[in-house]
Chains A and B, each alone.
Chain A
Amino acid sequence: MKPAQSPPARPSDVYFFATCVVDQFFPGAGMDAITLLESQGIRVHFPEEQTCCGQPAYTSGFPDEARKVAAHQLTLFPNEWPVVVPSGSCAGMMKHHYPTLFAADPIRKAQAEKLSARIYEFTDFLVNVLGWHPEDHGDACTVVLHTSCSARREMGVHLTGRKLLGDLHKVTVAQQDHESECCGFGGTFSVKQPEISGAMVEDKVKALKATGAERVVSADCGCLMNILGHAAWKDRQEGRAKPSLPGEHIASFLLRRTSK
């Protein structure tokens, strides 16, 4: 498996950029990711001043607003430590779009380039920097993995999540139909084109459920918000009390499986 970039020596410290979605909506996933990194003997630093990578404005066509928010993040990671991001989509923004976003601003462009070289998506960091092989302590179960489009196509880290799950010897990873297809989230797309986005998430949830897996895991909370949000809506519509498709961030799943 090719790392997304040449791995540095195993670091003693990393920064954690939680993303605004994790901070506000999936804090447990952030906690679990941090705990997992710490369990590998790494000191995790959470710059208090962090907010959002700026992607929502950027992809909606408001680059000035995105730049303002992104410029603020540029200053938060002064040491040469890797910056671990528990989201392929926000990592993709910081790694691939920051340098172009600041193309006309030499000072910030230089900062952005230095930062982007240190950005790691969470599962990529575990596999390609730490060389971690999770040891499974859980009972046999079947899960299905959803990989975000940014992780797959922008970061090229779609194999690392699969590899980590593959190391868990009592976990079967089910294969969903149209695995590589988008779940239909796409930030503001989900509200600007609700009919199309709705059809996409409907198909995605059907495909995930059809595998019979007991839960879906993903390294992107944006996708999870969409997928789990639709699955829960469907459960309500059909009067099910128990969630038909529970799900969580891959960090939470990995932490649980590897804890004794």
Chain B
Amino acid sequence: MNAPQTPHTLHFMPSAGFRARAKDVVDNPFLRQSFRGAMDFLMSKRAAQFPDAEELESLRTLGESIRQYNLARLPDLLERLEARLTANGIQVHWAETPDEANEIILGICRRHEAKLMVKGKSMVSEEIELNHAAEAAGIGALESDMGEYIVQLADEKPSHIIMPAIHKTKEQIAKLFAENVPGVDYTDNVDALIQIGRRVLREKFQEADIGLSGVNFAVAETGTLCLVENEGNGRMCTTAPPVHIAITGIEKIVEKLEHVPPLLSLLTRSATGQNISTYFNMISSPRKPGEKDGPSEVHLVLLDNGRSQAYADEQLRKTLQCIRCGACMNHCPVYTRIGGHAYGTTYPGPIGKIISPHMLGLEATKGLVTASSLCGACGEVCPVKIPIPELLIRLREEAFSAPPRANPAMRGQGAGYSGLISAVWRGWAAVYRSPSLYRVATWMGSRLRGLVPSRQGAWTSVRVPLKPAPKRLRDMLKERG
């Protein structure tokens, strides 16, 4: 059974074809069952970590205020981070767009005549589609996180930000390994598969010229890059090759080291239900004279890619509080039904719906912002209290209002504008703000109920038609006297 695939492209158009991709998964009982099972598992793991509702609430409030504190000082903190990192010997690069980020990374690779880059798990590197840029430049890019490795073998994209290969069964993975890894026979023993992956990757760590990683928290006061991981591959990527390049979004910054432990704890408990991750790496400098290991060069690429647009608006800025734990997708009834690929964006699920419009513009993402029942499950679990439903409502307004506004808060404001739909809402408001029009309209509705069409657009695809009652409540009350 094949998972729906997203074709490789640097130009995401997630709205185009979103409904069709979603339908493919919804109509596939196997995939639906497997996503449901996986999300149930993750939800129960998280729930076990937070048995006390009050403690959880106070931790989330702390997480929120730490993130807001740091975002409020972002420009200043970025300058301080750059100064501190530079003093520590880490080279800092700024990229406004994915293309610029790729250019910077490939430039470093070229300077070192690099042939092979091993990668730790980094969603920002997915965001810029680094693997394709590297491939086009003749540089091998090898994913070393097990999930990412599987996705790469299958020539797919991650379907979840924490568990990239969550859409794959062990049988599918076994087949992938047998077909793609030289000298491997089919086995669906999970431990054996992991050992195979590890063996392949271990050789590559020795061979690689460049190690690439993401960053979970960049600490301004100490100039430290923190990296959370479970497999140890992140540590290998950041220590074995002679050059380490870290890439992250400009929002991942905290002022103080003491901000890290509460966020780390919220992150691992919300993401995978772990007390703490197996590895936590803190990188503060390249190899110093006299030290025996570690890369001789360390670089940090700081990517904007639409983040400063979100930053400029007080409400939309909350989007940047995110610590990428993935809990919102695990708890999302929409993600659970359609999985990650249907979204057609790097970041799927609720966080994807609120951040992708800043990265890709509303033209490309206007369909995504409607893909929520606003049930609020995401906002309820978000460890840093991002009011995701509220932001979705705001994005709907940005997408469907009449263009162009004088100083649009977002690229693509009004991209989903329809004169007809807007007129319908104006008409609706005219009726519902006027008691007399409302009375007439609803009176007609109940009188003409026999004429209600048996097909009411999408509503009747799985439901019986809506029919007004023969008498309205107000009529019943009048009759009763």
Chain B associates with chain A: yes
Inside 8 A of A50's CB, which chain B residues have their CB? 435
Please tell me if the beta carbons of A62 and B374 are within 8 angstroms of each other in the complex.
no
Instruction: From the candidates B22, B379, B434, B469, name the one contacting A195 in the complex (CB within 8 A).
Output: B22
Please tell me if the beta carbons of B463 and A61 are within 8 angstroms of each other in the complex.
no
Instruction: From the candidates A31, A68, A149, A187, name the one contacting B476 in the complex (CB within 8 A).
Output: A31
Inside 8 A of A52's CB, which chain B residues have their CB? 432, 438
Please tell me if the beta carbons of A58 and B474 are within 8 angstroms of each other in the complex.
no
CA distance A189 to B400 in the complex (A): 14
* Stretch of B96-104, B122-130, B421-429 lying at the A interface: B421-429
Please tell me if the beta carbons of B401 and A46 are within 8 angstroms of each other in the complex.
no
CA distance A190 to B429 in the complex (A): 20
Chain B stretch 372-399: residues in CB contact (< 8 A) with chain A = 372-377, 379-380, 393, 395-399
CB distance from A225 to the nearest CB of B (A): 7
Please tell me if the beta carbons of A59 and B337 are within 8 angstroms of each other in the complex.
no
Instruction: From the candidates A63, A72, A189, A195, name the one contacting B372 in the complex (CB within 8 A).
Output: A189
Instruction: Judge if A233 is at the interface, Cβ distance under 8 Å.
Output: yes
Please tell me if the beta carbons of A51 and B397 are within 8 angstroms of each other in the complex.
no
Instruction: From the candidates B373, B469, B471, name the one contacting A189 in the complex (CB within 8 A).
Output: B373
Q: Is the interface of B mostly helix, strand, loop or mixed?
A: helix
Inside 8 A of B401's CB, which chain A residues have their CB? 61
Please tell me if the beta carbons of B466 and A68 are within 8 angstroms of each other in the complex.
no
B442-461 vs A, CB cutoff 8 Å, 1 = contact: the mask equals 10011000000000011111
Instruction: Judge if B26 is at the interface, Cβ distance under 8 Å.
Output: yes
Chain A stretch 32-53: residues in CB contact (< 8 A) with chain B = 34, 46, 48-52
Compute the total of residue contacts between A and B using a CB distance below 8 Å. Answer: 184
Please tell me if the beta carbons of A24 and B446 are within 8 angstroms of each other in the complex.
yes
CB distance from A48 to the nearest CB of B (A): 7
Instruction: From the candidates A20, A30, A51, A195, name the one contacting B26 in the complex (CB within 8 A).
Output: A195
Inside 8 A of A26's CB, which chain B residues have their CB? 469
Please tell me if the beta carbons of B469 and A182 are within 8 angstroms of each other in the complex.
no
Instruction: From the candidates A51, A185, A192, A230, name the one contacting B432 in the complex (CB within 8 A).
Output: A51
Instruction: Judge if A138 is at the interface, Cβ distance under 8 Å.
Output: no
Instruction: From the candidates A192, A200, A230, name the one contacting B370 in the complex (CB within 8 A).
Output: A192
CB distance from A228 to the nearest CB of B (A): 8
Knowing A27-B472, A61-B393, A181-B333, say if A193 contacts B371 (CB, 8 Å): yes
| Nearest B residue (CB) for A180 | B377
Please tell me if the beta carbons of A201 and B373 are within 8 angstroms of each other in the complex.
no
Q: Bin chain A's interface residue count.
A: 35 or more
Please tell me if the beta carbons of A191 and B477 are within 8 angstroms of each other in the complex.
no
Please tell me if the beta carbons of A202 and B462 are within 8 angstroms of each other in the complex.
yes
CA distance A191 to B463 in the complex (A): 11
Instruction: From the candidates B400, B445, B457, name the one contacting A61 in the complex (CB within 8 A).
Output: B400
Inside 8 A of B26's CB, which chain A residues have their CB? 195-196, 198-199
Instruction: Judge if A132 is at the interface, Cβ distance under 8 Å.
Output: no
Please tell me if the beta carbons of A225 and B462 are within 8 angstroms of each other in the complex.
no
CA distance A198 to B397 in the complex (A): 25
Instruction: From the candidates A34, A61, A149, A229, name the one contacting B477 in the complex (CB within 8 A).
Output: A34
A193-210 vs B, CB cutoff 8 Å, 1 = contact: the mask equals 111111111100000000
CA distance A236 to B463 in the complex (A): 10
Instruction: Judge if A246 is at the interface, Cβ distance under 8 Å.
Output: no
Instruction: Judge if B163 is at the interface, Cβ distance under 8 Å.
Output: no
Instruction: Judge if A232 is at the interface, Cβ distance under 8 Å.
Output: yes
Please tell me if the beta carbons of B399 and A61 are within 8 angstroms of each other in the complex.
yes
CB distance from A242 to the nearest CB of B (A): 15
Please tell me if the beta carbons of B373 and A62 are within 8 angstroms of each other in the complex.
no
Knowing A57-B429, A61-B399, A195-B19, say if A22 contacts B473 (CB, 8 Å): yes
Knowing A153-B375, A191-B458, say if A201 contacts B333 (CB, 8 Å): no
Please tell me if the beta carbons of A31 and B473 are within 8 angstroms of each other in the complex.
yes
Instruction: Judge if B338 is at the interface, Cβ distance under 8 Å.
Output: yes
B156-185 vs A, CB cutoff 8 Å, 1 = contact: the mask equals 000000000000000000000000000000
Instruction: Judge if A56 is at the interface, Cβ distance under 8 Å.
Output: yes
Please tell me if the beta carbons of A65 and B476 are within 8 angstroms of each other in the complex.
no
Instruction: From the candidates B399, B426, B435, B458, name the one contacting A65 in the complex (CB within 8 A).
Output: B426
Instruction: Judge if A113 is at the interface, Cβ distance under 8 Å.
Output: no
Please tell me if the beta carbons of A25 and B469 are within 8 angstroms of each other in the complex.
yes
Chain A stretch 112-151: residues in CB contact (< 8 A) with chain B = 149-150
Please tell me if the beta carbons of A186 and B445 are within 8 angstroms of each other in the complex.
no
Instruction: From the candidates B372, B457, B462, name the one contacting A186 in the complex (CB within 8 A).
Output: B372
Please tell me if the beta carbons of A51 and B433 are within 8 angstroms of each other in the complex.
yes
Please tell me if the beta carbons of A27 and B375 are within 8 angstroms of each other in the complex.
no
Binding site for B on A (CB under 8 A): 18, 20, 22-28, 30-31, 34, 46, 48-52, 54, 56-66, 68-69, 71-72, 149-150, 152-154, 180-182, 184-202, 225-226, 229-230, 232-233, 236
Binding site for A on B (CB under 8 A): 19, 22-23, 26, 32, 333-334, 337-338, 370-377, 379-380, 393, 395-401, 422, 425-426, 428-429, 431-435, 438, 442, 445-446, 457-464, 466-469, 471-477, 480
25 intermolecular pairs with C-beta atoms under 8 Å apart = A20-B432, A22-B473, A24-B469, A27-B473, A27-B475, A34-B477, A48-B435, A51-B438, A65-B426, A65-B429, A149-B376, A149-B377, A152-B376, A153-B379, A154-B376, A182-B373, A187-B374, A192-B370, A193-B334, A195-B23, A198-B26, A199-B32, A201-B463, A229-B464, A230-B462
